[in-house]
Structure formats: structure tokens, C-alpha cells
Amino acid sequence: MKKDSNVVQGSLFPELEPQEAHSAKPSKRTAKQVNEELKDENKQLKAEIEAKNAEIESLKKENAALLSKAEAFDDLISCKTLFPLTTIAKAFGRTAIWMNEYLAKKGIQFKNGEIWTLYSKYDKYGYTGVGWYEYGKDIKGRALVRPHTYWTVRGMNFIRELLIKDGLIND
């Protein structure tokens, strides 16, 4: 069996072929030219780094501002304070009567005796709470109280989103 010395350098392994066959004549650059090219490249890279650092600083400031807002919103959402619908309705330029009718027409609440009650579909989200208010005294001086539906901050945001969606207020 005869060994073929060209198999290793054949077309199966082009990377092992002599370089002169594939490459053009290398350009002749002086050390000064190479140095200048490297200086220019270095300046460009430094400028890119400075731009990226400026962008990072800007994003850090924006992030800090958004974090502050998010924390304030979280505090507001977790607030246990309850608000009468009159207060919410006035904030949106409406009356409590209009707002109750609107929410009833939307299938969100219904009149249950003396108070408005959310349908079970909405009741589980913590939009409302029941409070008691004193409307007078009996003949023995004891407080007369009635239940009243109050809205949470989460409920206010829910109402706001409904009004925006229906085009009744602007975002």
C-alpha cells in the first residue's frame, strides 16, 4: 500500500494548506501607523464606555424614582382605610347616586337591603369593606347605627380603570 503524502494537504483539510496560496500579500504598515490606529480605536472605545456609563447613571436615577413611586403605591394599595363612595365619585366629577347606578348597570354591585353589595365575582378582590355609621340616638341615648359599604384604595383604582375603559374620564 502506497502512502499518499498529499492527503493531509488536500481539499479535505484546507486549513493545513500553505497560507500563501490563500492570502493576499500583507500590507506593509509602519509601527507609527499601527500605533495611531490603536490610539484612534482606544479613543473610540473610551467614548463608547463614557456614553454607556452616562446611560447607566441615567437609568439608575430613573430606577430610583420609579422605586420610590412603586413603594408609595404599594403603601397606598395596602392601606386599610375605607372611603365612602361619595368621596370617590366627587374625585371623578360624579355623584354617589350616579356612581352606584353605574356600578349596578356594569353588574358589579346590587342593592342588598340598605347597602350596596358587590357580586361574588368582584367581592373576592378586596375592593370594599363594610363599616358602621351612627345616624342618631334612640330614646335611651344609645347610638343608632347602620351598615355602609366603603371602598378601599384598590377599589378606587378599579373604579378609575372602569371609567377610563368606558371613556368617561381621561387617563
* C-alpha 166 chain-centroid distance: 22
What is the pLDDT, as a whole number, of residue 159?
97
Cα 11 to chain center, whole Å? 58
Q: What pTM did the predictor assign? A: 0.55
pLDDT tens digits for range 135-151: 999 999 999 999 999 99
- With helix as H, strand as E and coil as C, how does 74-129 read? HHHHCCCCCEEHHHHHHHCCCCHHHHHHHHHHCCCEEEECCEEEECHHHHCCCCEE
Query: 109 φ, ψ to 5°?
Result: -140, 165
What is the mean pLDDT of the segment spanning 102-106?
98
Return the pLDDT at 171. Answer: 76
Q: What band does 87 get if pLDDT is binned at 50, 70 and 90? A: very high
